[in-house]
Amino acid sequence: MQAKAFNFMIPLKPPSPAVKQPPAQAVSFPDHVTRDISISIPNQELSTSVQDEKIAAYWDYQFLFVSQRTETVNPISLRVTEGSIPSDFPAGTYYLTGPGLFKDDHGSTVHPLDGHGYLRAFTIDPMKGEVKFMAKYIETTAQVEEHNRETGEWRFTHRGPFSVLKKGEMIGNTKVMKNVANTSVLRWGGRLFCLWEGGAPYEIDSGSLDTIGKFDVINGVDGSSVSSTSGGDRMVGGGDMLDLAASILKPILYGVFKMPPKRLLSHYKIDASRNRLLMMSCNAEDMLLPRSNFTFYEFDCNFKILQKREFTIPEHLMIHDWAFTDTHYILFGNRIKLDILGSMTAVCGLTPMITALSVNPSKSTSPIYLLPRSSEHDGQRDWKVPIEAPSQMWVLHVGNAFQETDQKGNSKIQIQASGSSYKWFNFHKMFGYDWQSGKLDPSTMNIDEGGNKLLPRLIQVSINLDATGNCEKCCVKPLNDQWDKATDFPVINSNFGGRNNAYVYAGTTSGSRQELPHFPFDTVVKFNTLKNSIQTWSVGSRRFTGEPIFVSKGGDEDDGYILVVEYAVTKQMCYLVILDAKKIGETDAVVARLEVPKHLNFPFGFHGFWAPKEI
């Protein structure tokens, strides 16, 4: 057997009191004493041993989630290793957020979704042909409490919804909702924010990346409601008992566990035609009750609330992403249910809070709720009755939605999204995290029981409505019949949001890794829905990619560039890759590749945002 040796830096013990001076232009939090350990990892192209490939896959996956405690003080110029920054690249900044820390100095680990938010910024200057890089932790309330800036020591005190504290205060710990601001990033009205699934966003200084503070956007901070309309009558059936249960739960959740009454979702929408920011919240008690309360907010560029609509749906749902058209807010109802035993152990701190819930695959269809966006549409179809899509799917992310209406008033709504089987989606072990061992198991995200039908893939949902709003037809089909590989993170040219778009870009897999066939992704795929064609670009052996971002040049729909981060895990390096969107699938698709200094190598990111330079 032929093998290749790699020197991996393996964390062995907590830091000693002595802290060395950080590199120039960076401040380094002391992480852990490391030792060079030479591990023989088989070269993928040469090895034929299944066991060796399992070892390589395991370590490759671990290094995708290695903590980074180093922050930059001043912008650092990235070295161009391939190509050059094109002169027609729009000036601006690519912001990427995600977890940065997974292990403290006292033996506790956390799920990636509970990792403290680490914001990365790539500022691109085409005139100078350079990219400046910065990265800093978001100083949330939990981050400030858990990190001692003087000593550099970390001690987890908040459990987080997906984790337990093995070496911390576990039993009786009510610090559950750990707002880590690690899920998505937004620039709106000249202000920069990092968001999390369940709390107020944190505002960030776009120049220094310093944290300004929590921004309670939905309670009118820096803006006041000028109109507030009801979303229609609330459901009455079973309402008295549910209202009683809610009244019992609220003091516990709000007071004891310090949960915000309304949990703001991390996915927002921008209605470019109306220059509005759309956001959505859920009630905290709905996590444990068989009903769901959703509130939608529409803001102008000064964060003044232009519209607020509330809806109560008689189903137990978990929503991560959603869609909108000119007339509707669109929710894909991912059905969940309360796990009684899990809720008891979770409240006691013996298991993560998320174990109180489980997926509910009791129905073979999927509910789609078309909620009227304005009062003029309230009199059409009963929005409390969902449209049942003819297949069961757990919707992960939405790429785009648009609506076309003919002269007779008949409408067709189309939604492009990523969806998986309920059997594949396991929010108890997302990313393969085992809360009992604190380890990451890559096989969890790579199950293939039943073939690729379980995996996340891009779908197109078509809904035909008559002039009165009644559904005549609903169908679900793959975005491309020829593409059956795991696919997620759909993005489009944002200038075509809410319009009939031809192109969708997404993260996917080449399928070349025997032990990592489906995730992590290593490929960007481009779908042409008009021609029903696909083109791909793959990053290469033993390297992974994150979410792609489209940067428009203002011409044709695919006239622009794709930004994607490449994670070279065996080298413990990260690269920013710029692709020509029109040339994906061709040999010269890569326009430039830029290297992040090794001491600033960062873990896998979640969602990003392209912010053009303000003139």
> Which pairing describes strands 457-465 and 471-478: parallel, antiparallel, or unpaired?
antiparallel
Do 342 and 358 contact (CB within 8 A), yes or no? yes
Helix (H) or strand (E) holding 11: strand 4-13
The answer to the question of whether 518 is labelled as a binding residue is no
Find residue 471's DSSP bridge partners: 465
Do 276 and 193 contact (CB within 8 A), yes or no? no
The answer to the question of whether 377 is labelled as a binding residue is no
The torsion region of residue 207 among left (phi > 0), alpha (psi -120 to 50) and beta comes to: alpha
Distances (CA, A) of 24 to 34, 75, 326, 335: 21, 11, 51, 51
Evaluate the CA torsion angle 369, 371, 377, 381 in order and state its sign: positive
The answer to the question of whether 599 is labelled as a binding residue is no
What single-letter amino acid sits at 539? V
The torsion angles phi and psi of 441, rounded to 5 degrees, stand at: -110, 110
The torsion region of residue 395 among left (phi > 0), alpha (psi -120 to 50) and beta comes to: beta
Do 59 and 8 contact (CB within 8 A), yes or no? yes
DSSP 8-state class, residue 483: -
- List % helix, strand, coil for the chain (3-state, nearest 5): 15, 40, 50
CB atoms within 10 A of CB 481: 8
What distance separates the 2 farthest-apart alpha carbons in the chain? 76
The torsion region of residue 588 among left (phi > 0), alpha (psi -120 to 50) and beta comes to: alpha
Residues 6+ apart with CB under 8 A from 444: 426, 429, 431, 432
What single-letter amino acid sits at 200? A
Peptide bond into 361 cis (omega under 30): no
CA 333 from chain centre, in angstroms, equals 18
Do 180 and 249 contact (CB within 8 A), yes or no? no
Q: How far apart are CA 488 and CA 519, in angstroms?
A: 10
> Quick one: tokens of 443?
């096989």
Chain position carrying tokens 């939090």: 29
Q: Which long-range contacts (CB under 8 A, 24 or more apart) does 44-53 make?
A: 44/512, 44/513, 44/541, 44/542, 45/541, 46/2, 46/3, 46/4, 47/1, 47/2, 47/3, 48/1, 49/1, 50/514, 52/1, 52/3, 53/513, 53/514, 53/515
DSSP 8-state class, residue 604: -
Q: How far apart are CA 488 and CA 5, in angstroms?
A: 33
CA 197 from chain centre, in angstroms, equals 9
Chain position carrying tokens 């490939």: 53
Q: How far apart are CA 578 and CA 560, in angstroms?
A: 10
Binding residues: 320, 397, 607
Instruction: Extract the annotated binding site for Fe cation.
Output: 320, 397, 607
